[in-house]
Amino acid sequence: MSFQAINALLLDGFARNCLLFFLTLLLALPLGVIVLFGSKSRFKPLRYLVRGFVWVIRGTPLMLQLFVVFYVPGMLFHVSLLSDRFTAALVAFVINYACYFSEIYRGGIEAIPKGQFEAAQVLGISKKDTFFKVTLPQVVKRIVPPLGNEVITLVKDTSLARVISVAEIFYANEVKILSYGIVWPLFYIGAFFLIFVGALTLGLRYLEKKLSYYTL
């Protein structure tokens, strides 16, 4: 295969990795808030159900979840609910990362001293203003570093979509390129991920710096 042909295949595959990454972030970040509310609900059955679900998702490999989402509905109900492999991968990724994000959100909220809520009540500040003007800015500042780590992990995890034959960059390399005995595209793939992760790291550092408003 020519360099141009290999480059086109790898770029097309990496485009799917990027699409999976951005769609997962777009959907998992707000879904994580919903999961958080469920895990902190005063309705005990809902709270235990959501916490149990989060425990299962965090305790099992993402690769297994990809298989379950894509194959199990058809095996149990004889109906292929997610016949499109990319959609199945997206569903598995969104569920997985929403659970992780919800725990990061929970940790950020619980790290806020309770004395601040009590002081806000004494000053007559409403719960709404307390949340948006006192709690939320501090939570956002605290969760950016762990959230950034998960975002970087997500970039690399997109390669797992190959296990259900999503035509991402590793799948394209394995099926269409390695059969020719060409090895150098593996280093090419590594460069793609390094550049992408490097750009994200710089962006996250800039965000952390902008949020360090207590630093002298």
Tokens 């569903």 map to which residue? 91
- The domain total for the chain is 1
Q: Is residue 130 part of a domain?
A: yes
Distances (CA, A) of 61 to 81, 92, 191: 22, 11, 26
Q: Is 190:17 a contact under the CB 8 Å cutoff?
A: no
The model's pTM: 0.88
Q: Is residue 79 part of a domain?
A: yes
Q: Is residue 216 part of a domain?
A: no
- CATH code, domain carrying 175: 1.10.3720.10
Q: Is residue 196 part of a domain?
A: yes
Q: What share of the chain is helix, strand, coil (3-state, %, to 5)?
A: 85, 0, 15
Question: Structural domain of residue 90, as residue ranges?
Answer: 3-211
Condensed to tens digits (0 to 9), the pLDDT of residues 188-215 reads 889 999 999 999 999 999 888 887 765 5
Q: Is residue 96 part of a domain?
A: yes
Condensed to tens digits (0 to 9), the pLDDT of residues 17-45 reads 999 999 999 999 999 999 999 998 889 99
Q: Is residue 153 part of a domain?
A: yes
The Cα 16–Cα 6 span in angstroms is 16
User: Average pLDDT over the chain, rounded to whole?
Assistant: 86
Q: Is residue 31 part of a domain?
A: yes
